[in-house]
Amino acid sequence: MSPPPFQLLVEHAQGAPVAVGAGTGRGAADLLRDVASLEAALPAPTPGSEVLIVCEDRYHFAAGLLAAWQRGHAAALPQNAQPETLRQLSQSAQVAACLHDGGLAAGLDVRAIAPAASPAALCPYEAGRKLLTLYTSGSSGLARACGKTAQQLLGEAELLRKTFSIGPQDRVLATVPAHHIYGLLFGVLVPLCSGAAFARSTPLHGEAVAAEARATGATVLVSVPAHLRALVPPSVRLLFSSSAPLDGETARRLGESCPGAWEILGSTETGGIAARRCGARRYRPLEGMVVTEGQLGQLLLDSPLLDADLPRPHPCADRIELFADGSFQHLGRTDGVVKVAGKRVALAELERRLREVPGVNDAAAVAVAADSARGTEIYAAVASAVVTPAGVRQALLQHFDPTVLPRRLRVLPALPRAANGKLSRAALLALFEDRRHFPIRELSRARSAAGEVIELEVLVPPDLLWLRGHFDDFPLLAGVVQLNVLVVGESRRLWPDLRFVRRLSRVKFRRPVQPGETLLLRLARQEAVVTFSLEHDRAACSSGTLEFSS
């Protein structure tokens, strides 16, 4: 017997809220009227056609998603909103239209389409109907397509709703964008199938998360380890973390502050597999998931969320230790154990030890083939404002043989993680392929009613890429690099809610910046305005004011 079709919004009362925050809340009737108007604006479907959804506002995203399904299309979600990514996807023969909410020259802006006079009556979704194509970079950095049927997508949303008892009383705040499977499920689909409401924005900075939680009355927080490590979590009923294991200290802290804090294990391809309380060592499979242990400890999965063409049980890229009661301990990925000069080392263990070094906020390691007797070398990067490479290596010697220590180690203010908290292999390797990065150390941070002031120490390496060609006989750091890379780059890193620069004013360049100099960068933020000054030995190099959109 075929499973019954799936239906969304059936748990929402007529006047119940669907989206909260971002200035104006929206109810179920508002959403259905917007869906009707967007549906009418879309072209007729063709076999396999898709609508590209590029909306930052989660309400606009939900309206576009439902409209595409109503019209008979599948939805396509890009891995990011970079121009080249969208250009390549939009050229696909399957893409019939693009829906966005600003910032794109092509496509339909959902904000410009007037609501319909009458709401749409949402159609049911048969279990086997393809609803979605996710484009994900994965660990390799190469985009790949992953299709999802209604059974896989909405079946998982229903499973999560029941497992964690999410209902009309809940308000869901996510720090993960909706175009990633984790943010899509927890931040949009679970609320739509449970009668709950979701926050429209996607805050990242700790203070912005706390403010949005208060403004929306959030009861559920959906986040990732990269955000949670630096976040004092708001008072919520449920807290979810996924995309990577939490380090021990963060897991303990979250478990103590929120009894309903959970880590979710899963992947884009498999859907959710298991969950564990923050601070616990063992995962327990979600309802309907059958986990067994294969040779060499590989996780084998049988699940109703798997693609029908995959083998059963499906071998996953995870190593586990399975216990008699069905729970298991996650030991890392099967592709994460390498040999360096004949000695075995688990990259997951190395990353865990790196994060345990005092002052390290984040860490990642990658194995690279070497043309030497070692066979393989390890490169590692850590995010910190206080540690040195020598200090990190000294700390690692307490746990590892000197042979397997990272051959190359970089200390950066932050790692280039994607919005979903993942760090692709390509992005990690890029840190070692060029010299585009300034060593930066935070010196001070002060907050007041007027705003926040942060002082940073910036070193200009003599081999910095930006110095090439400017000028050959007398290299200088160009003003555009000072603005774009240092001032704008650091402002957006420190305050992720700042988006695009709308206006520059009073920008002055007073003295040249030369290789090898150590600079003092002072950033003073008041609302969406950042005033900066760059100095060397107390002599002003440049200064000005930037107004951001936030």
The more confident residue out of 518 and 342 is 518
DSSP code of residue 485: I
pLDDT of residue 423: 84
pLDDT of residue 191: 98
pLDDT confidence bin for 139, thresholds 50/70/90 = very low
pLDDT of residue 436: 58
Percent of the residues in the chain that have a pLDDT greater than 90, as a whole number? 57
Lowest mean pLDDT among 194-208, 265-279, 472-486: 472-486
pLDDT of residue 99: 96
The more confident residue out of 485 and 67 is 67
Residue with tokens 């007037």, as numbered in its chain? 114
Give the three-state DSSP class for 308: coil
Average pLDDT rounded to a whole number, residues 492-517: 88
pLDDT of residue 473: 66
Distance between CA atoms of residues 207 and 233, nearest Å: 10
pLDDT of residue 23: 66
The more confident residue out of 418 and 9 is 9
Dihedral of CA 363/368/371/375: which sign?
Answer: positive
Residue with tokens 């400017």, as numbered in its chain? 470
Q: What are the tens digits of pLDDT across the range 376-413?
A: 889 999 998 888 888 999 999 888 888 889 988 988 88
pLDDT confidence bin for 141, thresholds 50/70/90 = very low
pLDDT confidence bin for 86, thresholds 50/70/90 = confident
pLDDT confidence bin for 358, thresholds 50/70/90 = very high
Q: Where are the extended beta strands (E) located within 73-143? A: 74-77, 95-100, 108-109, 130-136
Q: Are strands 529-536 and 539-548 parallel, antiparallel or unpaired?
A: antiparallel
Distance between CA atoms of residues 219 and 239, nearest Å: 9
pLDDT of residue 22: 66
pLDDT confidence bin for 184, thresholds 50/70/90 = very high
pLDDT of residue 334: 76
Residues comprising the chain, all counted: 550
Whether the predicted pLDDT of 373 surpasses 70: no
Q: What are the tens digits of pLDDT across the range 419-440?
A: 778 888 888 887 886 555 788 8
Q: Nearest 5°: phi and psi at 35?
A: -60, -45
Q: Are strands 290-293 and 238-241 parallel, antiparallel or unpaired?
A: unpaired
Whether the predicted pLDDT of 19 surpasses 90: yes
pLDDT of residue 142: 45
Q: Nearest 5°: phi and psi at 306?
A: -75, 150
pLDDT confidence bin for 137, thresholds 50/70/90 = low
Average pLDDT rounded to a whole number, residues 235-251: 90
Q: What are the tens digits of pLDDT across the range 93-127?
A: 799 999 999 877 789 999 999 888 888 899 999 99
Question: What count of other Cβ atoms lies within 10 Å of the Cβ of residue 394?
Answer: 12
Average pLDDT rounded to a whole number, residues 342-358: 87
Residue 241 forms beta bridges with which residues? Answer: 223, 263
Whether the predicted pLDDT of 9 surpasses 50: yes
Q: What are the tens digits of pLDDT across the range 282-322?
A: 999 999 999 999 987 999 999 999 998 888 999 998 889 99
Most confident range, picked from 57-61, 267-271, 489-493: 57-61
Residue with tokens 């709401």, as numbered in its chain? 119
Q: What are the tens digits of pLDDT across the range 437-466?
A: 788 888 898 988 888 999 999 988 876 777
- 284's enclosing H/E stretch is strand 282-285
Q: Give Cβ neighbours of residue 452 (< 8 Å, ≥ 6 apart).
A: 445, 446, 524, 525
Average pLDDT rounded to a whole number, residues 493-497: 86
pLDDT of residue 140: 40
Q: What are the tens digits of pLDDT across the range 28-70?
A: 999 999 999 999 999 999 999 999 999 999 999 999 999 999 9
Percent of the residues in the chain that have a pLDDT greater than 70, as a whole number? 94
- 143's enclosing H/E stretch is none
pTM as predicted = 0.71
